[in-house]
């Protein structure tokens, strides 16, 4: 019954195997990570010193827009879906995803979406230049013609995410091995289950808002056009109703990854498993009622401002619980510091710093000074780069031996970590300062007051970029020539994924394992 | 092997510290680290809220990171640490849910009161209507019959050609907003095209300027001086180039300024009746063009975001249509209505310039009175 993979290209085109699809997601997201990274470097090169030297302001705006879109929808989200594809079935003892053909389809429409989005760079009028938040009417009446392609690309990405989520939910709810009760599931599975529900709830909202834009642009409606009786602020409400849960979509699976890694290398069970689950659910719920904290300066009524401020501050509580639990997991462990552990610890520290600036931003009256400055840029890069990117990287180092059967080189891995760690902090920490000093975000040129911090940020960005090339080298080297990995891989590893051989055979758990 | 790894860990860490410290050692003057305290009651309250929440975060950070580093140093396998096996404690978990909640409630109280102050726009002594345009601000003194546009005044050569940058590079305008010291000034903020945001850090005023909405903000500045800010909401190509300059003057200086500005406006109105020579129109037209049109149509009329003016169908077509395009704009495109932004003299001049410059050589000219008549509908 079980057979090996097809030969050649058709293996990848027609595969319904969760491991193949997981690998494709991961490679695709790495490619997008590099593309989005190059755009970030163009931005940082222009901002290296005051004056316009390299690009013109319009192209600069295209770069900030495309960088954001590609990193969010092309790098981070597909990477987590890739991890879910690989690990969820292995962790719950299922032979594959519940809906394997749909799995193939949800992956294969992605390259088309991004090809379409990327092609806008070569269109007349240029690529979308209105920021990844694409506020109307800048993104409707005042947008370049390529906005239509952007809209269709978003539709396709949304379809892919929704199908991916349905698949993950169906798999988790129906295909757990006997004895694997919900409250026995690894936290990565839990966080993904909750994330998948978030995705199903908000991706249609995103699809809705871009469709309204499409109607405004081509079919004479005026949803967001004040001159036609529409409301530009409505756009922001709808966008952030999607956008705020979206940031948790990018961070909840990261919580899951870190909650797998810390116990392994502390050789101690995760502290407060059930409160972790409840905290995740609480964060997911709260993420639906805080969207307008992105809009404190749009002129909402005082009452609304207060409600959104309080709700936002409340999120600090379950988030704090998570951080405390991770520290308690490490506490009195017997720790070793292999590369995945280093990334996971850096995650906890740096994500917490991002959480602090988030708490500061939650204070509405002060947000009047922070809003739309580099302080916000620093904040969300601190939660997303060490948050999402570091946890994905940690996950790759952690599970790579299981995927390909080889150990990576520890010295190289640590070098990668320290380069990335230094690069990240040199890039993003100074942004707190330039923001507090008064530098607005999304500007291509600035006063000398901000010059020094910007130069440092730019240097850090190139260092961070270089570190990722090393990462690519390490991964390829591991796949082709690493030392053989054992079945458990790590001394302290626990869970079903470590009960199958390394590399994991093409088909696993054809007969379900027994979970006690 | 081990010492090798240690070296590997040490070097980049040291290097990154050095990079961060180096500029500080060099003693450069511009290292602004923190938010401005500003010059108003509200801005100072905002600043102290910012510092409170900052210190709260710092203290929590020291505790949490302290615990982490302690355990990372003490509980290593290489030091022979044996793993404990506890995995939950309801008591501890309740404590670290409750304490942060209490801190947050304590923080919410002062935040609420400051926010209320920001929203209290009642009893203003005067009001200014602030309108955002791509990419300039318009200030209209309500009840005073005075309004004007405020454009970036930094020369393009400093931005694009590497000429030495002035002291207020990108933070300077041709016509600043002038307000009297010690008076409560209400700002009614709106926009004409896309969303902008009017932000002056020293006043702690940031209000999004949104088409179709008029939102209120206010300030009272006691200290005379010049306060600078920038548009804070991405508004298209020249978002980075639409600064704000607020001059706070004593009441008497302010009154004097007001009288002068009104006189200037009257003068321009008188000029509408005057007939200009072709050369005068062309010279004025070129200045207006470079200031108001070149950003989109290119300094040499070669086009950019907007179409080329060289051989443009409109600039080489019927005069009425050309006037219409400039005065009323082209609806639904970035070509906005300049009827209000340019006075009659400027509009006549720039039209004449477009028709005769750039080798269009139409050989006709427009007088201010023609534009005036067009606007009146005859
Ligand atoms: Cu603006």
Domain span including residue A167: 24-499
Dihedral of CA A189/A23/A260/A356: which sign? negative
Task: Tell me the helices (H) and strands (E) count for chain B, helix number first.
Answer: 10, 10
Min Cα separation B259/chain A (Å):
33
- pLDDT at residue B303 in the model: 87
Produce one character per residue of A108-129: b if its CB has 16 or more CB atoms within 10 Å, e if not.
bebeebbebbbebeeeeebbbb
Provide the percentage of residues in chain A whose pLDDT is more than 90.
88
CA separation for the pair A12, A243 (Å, rounded): 33
Helical packing angle, A147-174 and A187-218, nearest 10°: 150
Assigned domain for A9 exists: no
Residue A195 sits at the vertex; the CA angle it makes with A162 and A506, to the nearest 5 degrees, is 75
Kindly determine whether residue B8 and residue A309, on different chains, have CB atoms separated by under 8 Å: no
Q: Report the pLDDT averaged over residues A164-170.
A: 96
Q: Report the pLDDT averaged over residues A215-221.
A: 93
Tell me which residues of A are annotated as active site: 67, 96, 132, 160-161, 244, 246, 248, 259, 293-294, 319, 322, 441
Residue B157 near chain A (CB below 8 Å): no
Kindly determine whether residue B46 and residue A369, on different chains, have CB atoms separated by under 8 Å: yes
- pLDDT at residue A7 in the model: 81
Q: Nearest Cβ partner of A449 from B32, B108, B233?
A: B32
- pLDDT at residue B147 in the model: 86
Assigned domain for A96 exists: yes
CA separation for the pair A135, A150 (Å, rounded): 14
Does A312 have pLDDT greater than 80?
yes
Q: How many domains does chain A divide into?
A: 1
Query: A147 to each of A36, A204, B145, how far by Cα in Å?
Result: 19, 19, 41
CATH code for the domain in which residue A314 is found: 1.20.210.10
Q: Name the 3-class secondary structure at B248.
A: strand
Kindly determine whether residue A226 and residue B238, on different chains, have CB atoms separated by under 8 Å: no
Tell me if the domain spanning B41-77+88-118 has CATH number 1.10.287.90. Answer: yes
Query: B120 to each of A380, A504, B113, B339, how far by Cα in Å?
Result: 31, 65, 11, 35
- Is residue A104 within 8 A of residue B156, CB to CB? The reply is no
Kindly determine whether residue B85 and residue A268, on different chains, have CB atoms separated by under 8 Å: yes
Interface of B with A in 108-147 (CB under 8 A): 108, 111-112, 114-116, 118-119, 134
- What are the domain boundaries of chain B? 41-77+88-118, 126-161+168-268, 273-377
- pLDDT at residue B109 in the model: 94
Q: What tens digit of pLDDT does each residue of B54-99 get?
A: 999 999 999 999 999 999 999 998 888 888 888 788 888 899 889 9
Q: Report the pLDDT averaged over residues A19-30.
A: 95
Does B6 have pLDDT greater than 70?
no
Chain pair A-B, CB pairs under 8 angstroms: 315
- Is residue B245 within 8 A of residue B171, CB to CB? The reply is yes
Assigned domain for A90 exists: yes
- pLDDT at residue B10 in the model: 43
Min Cα separation B156/chain A (Å):
10
Q: Which residue of B has its CA nearest to A355?
A: B57
ipTM computed for the complex? 0.91
CA separation for the pair A456, A447 (Å, rounded): 16
Assigned domain for A514 exists: no
What is the distance in A from the centroid of ligand 1 to the CA of A407?
53
Which is more confident, A314 or B8?
A314
Residue B21 banded pLDDT, cuts 50, 70, 90? very low
What is the distance in A from the centroid of ligand 1 to the CA of B179?
22
Q: What is the CA radius of gyration of chain B?
A: 29
- pLDDT at residue B7 in the model: 41
Q: Is the peptide bond before A503 cis (omega within 30 degrees of 0)?
A: yes
Residue B378 banded pLDDT, cuts 50, 70, 90? low
Q: Name the 3-class secondary structure at B365.
A: coil
Kindly determine whether residue A438 and residue B96, on different chains, have CB atoms separated by under 8 Å: no
Q: What tens digit of pLDDT does each residue of B240-265 get?
A: 999 999 999 999 999 999 999 888 88
Query: A64 to each of A60, A147, A429, how far by Cα in Å?
Result: 6, 15, 19
Residue A397 banded pLDDT, cuts 50, 70, 90? very high
Q: Which residue of A has its CA nearest to B191?
A: A226
Q: Report the pLDDT averaged over residues B187-192.
A: 94
- pLDDT at residue B30 in the model: 53
Q: What tens digit of pLDDT does each residue of B322-338 get?
A: 998 998 888 767 888 88
- Is residue A394 within 8 A of residue B84, CB to CB? The reply is no
- pLDDT at residue B31 in the model: 66
Min Cα separation B378/chain A (Å):
26
Q: Report the pLDDT averaged over residues A81-108.
A: 94
Residue B83 near chain A (CB below 8 Å): yes
**DSSP letter for each residue of A407-439:** EPPHHHHHHHHHHHHHHHHHHHHHHHHHHHTTP
Structure tokens at A251: 């961070």
Q: Report the pLDDT averaged over residues B285-303.
A: 90
Question: What is the DSSP secondary structure assignment for residue B189, as one 8-state letter?
Answer: E
Assigned domain for A357 exists: yes
Query: B20 to each of A32, A448, A457, B315, how far by Cα in Å?
Result: 30, 18, 10, 55
Produce one character per residue of B229-245: b if its CB has 16 or more CB atoms within 10 Å, e if not.
bbbbbbbbbbbbbbbbb
Instruction: Tell me the average pLDDT of chain A.
Output: 93
Answering whether pTM is above 0.80, one says: yes
- Is residue B68 within 8 A of residue A348, CB to CB? The reply is yes
Does A3 have pLDDT greater than 70?
no
Tell me if the domain spanning B126-161+168-268 has CATH number 2.60.40.420. Answer: yes
Which is more confident, B295 or A63?
A63
What is the distance in A from the centroid of ligand 1 to the CA of A126?
20
In sequence order, what are the beta bridge partners of B196?
B209
The class that CATH gives domain B273-377 is mainly alpha
Min Cα separation B123/chain A (Å):
18
Does A220 have pLDDT greater than 60?
yes
Assigned domain for A506 exists: no
């Amino acid at each position: 019954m079980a057979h090996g993979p097809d030969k050649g290209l058709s293996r990848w085109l027609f595969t319904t195997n969760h491991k193949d699809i997981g690998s494709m997601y991961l490679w695709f997201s790495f490619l997008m990570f590099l593309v989005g990274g190059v755009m970030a470097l163009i931005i940082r090169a222009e901002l290296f010193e005051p004056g316009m030297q390299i690009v013109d302001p319009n192209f600069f705006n295209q770069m900030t827009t495309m960088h954001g879109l590609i990193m969010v929808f092309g790098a981070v989200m597909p990477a987590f879906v890739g991890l879910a594809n690989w690990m969820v079935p292995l962790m719950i003892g299922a032979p594959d995803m519940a809906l394997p053909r749909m799995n193939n389809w949800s992956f294969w429409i992605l390259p088309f979406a991004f090809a379409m989005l990327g092609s806008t760079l070569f269109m007349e009028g240029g690529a979308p230049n209105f920021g990844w938040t694409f506020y109307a009417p800048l993104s409707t009446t005042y947008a370049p013609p390529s906005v239509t392609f952007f809209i269709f690309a978003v539709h396709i990405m949304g379809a892919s995410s929704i199908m991916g989520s349905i698949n993950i939910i169906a798999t988790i709810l129906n295909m757990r091995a006997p004895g694997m009760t919900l409250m026995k599931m690894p936290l990565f599975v839990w966080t993904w289950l909750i994330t998948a529900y978030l995705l199903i709830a908000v991706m249609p909202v995103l699809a809705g808002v871009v469709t309204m834009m499409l109607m405004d642009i081509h079919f004479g409606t005026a949803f967001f056009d004040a001159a036609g009786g529409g409301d530009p602020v409505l756009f922001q409400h709808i966008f952030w109703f999607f956008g705020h849960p979206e940031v948790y979509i990018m961070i909840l699976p990261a919580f899951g990854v870190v909650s797998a890694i810390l116990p392994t290398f502390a050789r101690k069970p995760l502290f407060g498993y059930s409160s972790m689950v409840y905290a995740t659910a609480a964060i997911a719920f709260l993420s639906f009622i805080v969207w307008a904290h992105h809009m404190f300066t749009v002129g909402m009524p005082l009452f609304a401002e207060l409600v959104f401020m309080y709700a936002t501050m409340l999120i600090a509580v379950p988030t704090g619980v998570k951080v405390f639990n991770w520290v308690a997991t490490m506490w009195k462990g017997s720790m070793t510091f292999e590369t995945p552990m280093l990334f996971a610890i850096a995650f906890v520290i740096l994500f917490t710093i991002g959480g602090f600036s988030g708490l500061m931003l939650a204070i509405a009256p002060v947000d009047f000074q922070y809003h739309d400055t580099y302080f916000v840029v620093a904040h969300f890069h601190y939660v997303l780069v060490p948050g999402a990117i570091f946890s994905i990287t940690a996950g790759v180092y952690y599970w790579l031996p299981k995927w390909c059967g080889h150990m990576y080189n520890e010295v190289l891995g640590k070098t990668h970590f320290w380069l990335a760690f230094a690069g990240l902090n040199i890039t993003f920490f100074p942004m707190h300062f330039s923001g507090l000093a008064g530098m607005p975000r999304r500007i291509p040129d600035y006063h000398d007051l901000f010059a020094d911090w910007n130069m440092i940020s730019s240097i850090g960005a190139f260092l961070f970029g270089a570190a990722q090339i090393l990462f690519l080298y390490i991964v390829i080297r591991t796949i082709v020539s690493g030392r053989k990995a054992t079945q458990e891989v790590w001394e302290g590893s626990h869970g079903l994924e470590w009960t199958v051989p390394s590399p994991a055979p093409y088909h696993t758990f054809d007969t379900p394992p027994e979970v006690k | 092997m081990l010492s090798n790894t240690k070296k590997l860990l040490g070097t980049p860490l040291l290097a990154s510290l050095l990079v961060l410290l180096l500029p500080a050692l060099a003693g450069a003057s511009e290292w602004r680290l923190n938010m401005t305290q500003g010059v108003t009651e509200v801005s100072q309250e905002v600043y102290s809220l910012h510092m409170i929440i900052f210190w709260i975060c710092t203290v929590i950070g020291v505790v949490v990171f302290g615990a982490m580093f302690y355990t990372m140093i003490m509980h290593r396998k290489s030091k022979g640490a044996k793993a404990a096996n506890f995995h939950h404690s309801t008591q501890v978990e309740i404590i670290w849910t409750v304490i942060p909640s209490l801190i947050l409630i304590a923080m919410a109280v002062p935040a609420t009161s400051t926010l209320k102050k920001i929203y209290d726009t009642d009893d203003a002594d005067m009001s200014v209507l602030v309108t955002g345009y791509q990419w300039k601000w318009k200030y209209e003194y309500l009840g005073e019959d005075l309004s004007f546009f405020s454009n970036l005044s930094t020369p393009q050569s400093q931005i694009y050609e590497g000429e030495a940058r002035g002291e207020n590079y990108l933070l300077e305008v041709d016509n600043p907003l002038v307000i009297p010291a010690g008076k409560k000034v209400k700002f009614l903020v709106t926009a004409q095209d896309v969303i902008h945001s009017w932000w002056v850090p020293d006043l702690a005023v940031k209000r999004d300027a949104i088409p179709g909405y008029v939102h209120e903000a206010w300030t009272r500045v006691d200290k005379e001086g010049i306060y600078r800010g920038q548009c804070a909401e991405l508004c298209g190509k020249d978002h980075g180039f639409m600064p704000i300059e607020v001059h706070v003057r004593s009441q008497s200086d302010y009154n004097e300024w007001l009288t002068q500005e009104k006189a200037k406006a009257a003068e321009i109105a008188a000029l509408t009746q005057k007939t200009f020579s072709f050369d005068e129109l062309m010279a004025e037209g070129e200045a207006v063009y470079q200031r108001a049109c070149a950003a989109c149509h290119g300094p040499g009329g070669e086009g950019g975001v907007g179409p080329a003016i060289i051989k443009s169908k409109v600039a080489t077509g019927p005069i009425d249509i050309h006037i219409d395009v400039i005065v009323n704009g082209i609806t639904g495109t970035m070509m906005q209505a300049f009827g209000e932004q340019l006075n009659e003299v400027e509009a006549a001049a720039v039209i004449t310039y477009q028709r005769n410059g750039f080798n269009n050589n139409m050989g006709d000219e427009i007088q201010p009175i023609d534009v005036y008549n067009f606007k009146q509908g005859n």
